[in-house]
Amino acid sequence: MADTSELRNGLILRFKGEPFLVVEFQHVKPGKGGAFVRTTLKNMKTGKVLDNTFRSGESIEVIQIERRKYQYLYKEGEFYILMDNETFDQINVPEEILGDGQVFLKEGDEIQIIYDDQEKIISSEIPMFVNLKVVETEPGYKGDTATNVLKPAKLETGAQISVPLFVNEGDLLKVDTRTGVYVERVKN
């Protein structure tokens, strides 16, 4: 067991039975009373952020994590089937583990799965940017780059995003999976 003196940004600890990431911490020593540590914690399963105060010297349970790379094979019902890149074992991962960026995944993409010290999946990391082809959108017009007008476009994974007017069907786009926003057009 560790104590609050070992808190640092990026540390993962078990708090209220759930894995939490320390986003920010601050040791506070007021003039009157005992010292304490003010923290901002992010739940690794749900993504919710909460503020918590620990007494100085209070014991905390630090979790050792392991990151493993997997390749996305296909989706079956509400599970994503992934293959371990080293052992070629396949695992089923519930869609809630992958988060909102799952709509931008295509077969063959690499995903990192994060395991805790009890070999349970606690989180995942999908690529920050992916290149996807536009399969459906209104025709683009040459010269429509001066205005900031956007139009809807459907990507090869089925995801819908807003793109500038000059984007055409068949164009390859770079998309931010965290926000679902068009970044740039990629040359083939």
Mean pLDDT over 25-46 rounds to 88
Q: Which residues lie closer than 8 Å to 154 by C-beta, 6 or more apart?
A: 134, 135, 136, 137, 160
| Total count of domains within the chain | 3
Which domain does 81 fall in, by range? 66-125
The dihedral built from the CA positions of residue 143, 145, 148 and 151, taken in this order, carries a sign that is: positive
Nearest alpha-carbon partner for 114 in 125, 103, 129, 99: 125
- pTM of this prediction? 0.74
Does residue 3 carry a pLDDT above 70? yes
- What pLDDT is attached to residue 145? 59
Chain center to CA of 131: 17
In tens, the pLDDT along 116-136 reads 888 888 888 888 899 999 888
Residues 22 and 69: beta-carbon distance below 8 Å: no
Q: Which of 109, 125, 141 is the last residue of a domain?
A: 125
Do 121 and 161 fall within a single domain? Answer: no
